[in-house]
Amino acid sequence: MAIPRLSSLFRCRKWAKSDWLVAFLGFLLIVFFLSFFFDSTSDSVPSVDRPLPIAYPPDLVKLKLSSKAKERGAFCLDGSLPGYHFRNGSGSGSKSWLLHLEGGGWCSTIASCSSRAMTRLGSSNYFEDEVAFQGVLSSDPSQNPDFFNWNRVMVRYCDGASFAGRPEAEFKNETRLFFRGQLIWEAIMAELLSMGMSDAKQAILTGCSAGGLASLIHCDYFRDHLPKDAAVKCISDGGYFLNVPDVHGNPTMRSFYHDIANLQGVHKSLDQKCVAKTDPFKCMFPENFLKNIRTPVFLVNAAYDFWQIAHVLVPASDDPDKSWAKCRLNIKECNAAQLKVLHGFRSSLMDGIGVFHQNRVGGMFIDSCFSHCQSLMPVTWHSPTSTRIENKTIAESVGDWYFNRKPVKLIDCPYPCNPSCYNSNFT
């Protein structure tokens, strides 16, 4: 489904505060949360379990289609040119760069990729003319204290395989879909390097959801293409997907990743040490390759990740009697037995990141919220009422880690112990 273009909505800048609030919340609800789901539609639009405290006027950034994509054969699923949104850095941040890789699920079959190619997640023909830079991308120091004046880029996601698809897989494809995620990544990297990133003194690669997985897959490539003396690190937000069975014991996520890898030929883009030892699709799970990443990594993840609970742990197809219908959409609706299952999911995450916890240069912020992708909204990234662990917001924790102010290995106690959580509600 195409999302309406919003440029005309913001032409008049002299709005009342209430108008800004309506426009901003409308933008987030339409654009932001839709990017968290598979190419199929989600159950409903989320809210949070307490009021939003502050409405920040949107920082709108225009779309730019890649100038290097065509010559490199880098195309979205439908053959259109990929793109990105760029905000110049200034002052002390003029030599610092932050790249954010957009999320939006994956497609694992010709049918689902064909459907995706008719949306903004598979075609730049449906990209918004402008997007709001919020959270880690914001120019407002009150919501983005450490990175507000950096060069900031949002790379749009239109390939369906975490920027890792390969054109050699296209021979299986009779509908002329383009599996060019790896080439999109390389083309936009080349373009940004030519725009000044080759002189970066500081740099961060981050991403949300499928983009959070991509930030791990491409972390060392990012490091290797920047100056050796630059401080380069990577942040994965909501990208630590677990290889766990669903509530009926079915390998839902395992099978899904297997089909993505087989369809879009991602194995050459994945960690080669991992690929040499096991089936390539298993190397899409961070637990199997995180230890091989040479560049410092920070994990931002909700222990009760609503996307994984609704699509991996309790997919709708595995809930025919609707016994999980409310719980999978709102953690406050879970009964004691269901909460026990969700606590088990949290335990699987703790087991998965156990080795990484010992990584000297790594960092983490693992809260116990029913949330997903927490770096793009001020209400979860950094605001007076943001989620906190040890009285630190995610933004403060990431800043402490990136600038080596202090080690950051923050793991929240189990739900519902943290009253600062913003728990999404899809009911």
* Predicted local confidence at residue 54, as pLDDT: 56
Distance of alpha carbon 215 from alpha carbon 210, whole angstroms: 9
Give the model confidence (pLDDT) of 309-322 as tens digits: 999 999 998 899 99
- Residue 160 · residue 111 · CB < 8 Å: no
* Predicted local confidence at residue 44, as pLDDT: 35
Percentage of the chain exceeding pLDDT 70: 86
Q: Is 280 left (phi over 0), alpha (psi -120 to 50) or beta?
A: alpha
E-assigned strand segments in 9-159: 47-48, 60-65, 83-87, 96-101, 130-132, 151-155
The answer for residues whose C-beta is within 8 angstroms of residue 257's C-beta and 6 or more apart is 243, 281, 282, 284, 285
Of 45-59, 166-180, 392-406, least confident by mean pLDDT is 45-59
17-21 average pLDDT score: 42
The domain defined by 17-425 folds into Rossmann fold (3.40.50)
* Predicted local confidence at residue 53, as pLDDT: 52
Give the model confidence (pLDDT) of 256-294 as tens digits: 999 999 999 999 999 999 999 999 999 999 999 999 999
Active site residue 209: yes
Distance of alpha carbon 100 from alpha carbon 134, whole angstroms: 12
The pair of three-digit structure tokens given for residue 255, joined into one six-digit string: 């099978």
Distance of alpha carbon 148 from alpha carbon 137, whole angstroms: 7
Q: What angle do CA 301, 303, 308 make, to 5 degrees?
A: 85
Q: Which of 146, 159, 237, 305 is catalytic?
A: 305
Distance of alpha carbon 316 from alpha carbon 321, whole angstroms: 10
- CB burial class (10 A; 0-12, 13-18, 19+) of residue 57? middle
- Residue 147 · residue 153 · CB < 8 Å: no
Could you tell me which residues are beta bridge partners of residue 98?
A: 152, 204
Residue 12 pLDDT level (bands cut at 50, 70, 90): very low
* Predicted local confidence at residue 165, as pLDDT: 97
Q: What angle do CA 88, 239, 61 make, to 5 degrees?
A: 25
Indicate whether 6 pLDDT > 80.
no
11-32 average pLDDT score: 40
**Phi, psi for residue 302 in degrees, rounded to 5:** -85, 130
Active site residue 305: yes
321-350 average pLDDT score: 96
Indicate whether 300 pLDDT > 80.
yes
Name the pTM for this structure: 0.88
* Predicted local confidence at residue 9, as pLDDT: 30
* Predicted local confidence at residue 283, as pLDDT: 98
Indicate whether 391 pLDDT > 90.
yes
Give the model confidence (pLDDT) of 233-266 as tens digits: 999 999 999 999 999 999 999 999 999 999 999 9
* Side chain identity at residue 19, one-letter code: D
**Phi, psi for residue 324 in degrees, rounded to 5:** -105, 5
* Predicted local confidence at residue 57, as pLDDT: 67
The residue written with tokens 């190619």 in the block is 117
Percentage of the chain exceeding pLDDT 90: 82
The residue written with tokens 């998965």 in the block is 352
Q: Report the DSSP pairing between strands 297-302 and 231-237.
A: parallel
Residue 207 pLDDT level (bands cut at 50, 70, 90): very high
* Predicted local confidence at residue 35, as pLDDT: 41
Indicate whether 36 pLDDT > 90.
no
Question: Cα 131 to chain center, whole Å?
Answer: 16
90-110 average pLDDT score: 97
Q: Which of 124, 372, 383, 412 is catalytic?
A: 372
The pair of three-digit structure tokens given for residue 101, joined into one six-digit string: 């890789």
* Predicted local confidence at residue 17, as pLDDT: 40
Active site residue 100: no
Residue scoring higher pLDDT (135 or 2): 135
* Predicted local confidence at residue 59, as pLDDT: 87
DSSP state of 150: S
Q: Which of 42, 209, 371, 397 is catalytic?
A: 209
Residue 174 pLDDT level (bands cut at 50, 70, 90): low
98-103 average pLDDT score: 98
> Structural domain boundaries of the chain?
17-425
Residue scoring higher pLDDT (49 or 400): 400
Instruction: Provide the H-helix boundaries in 168-228.
Output: 181-194, 210-217, 219-224
Indicate whether 363 pLDDT > 70.
yes
Give the model confidence (pLDDT) of 52-93 as tens digits: 555 566 789 999 999 999 999 999 999 999 999 999 999 999
Residue 427 pLDDT level (bands cut at 50, 70, 90): confident
* Predicted local confidence at residue 23, as pLDDT: 43
- Residue 192 · residue 67 · CB < 8 Å: no
Of 23-37, 46-60, 169-183, least confident by mean pLDDT is 23-37
198-227 average pLDDT score: 98
The candidate with the shortest Cα–Cα distance to 49, out of 426, 424, 355, 427, is: 424
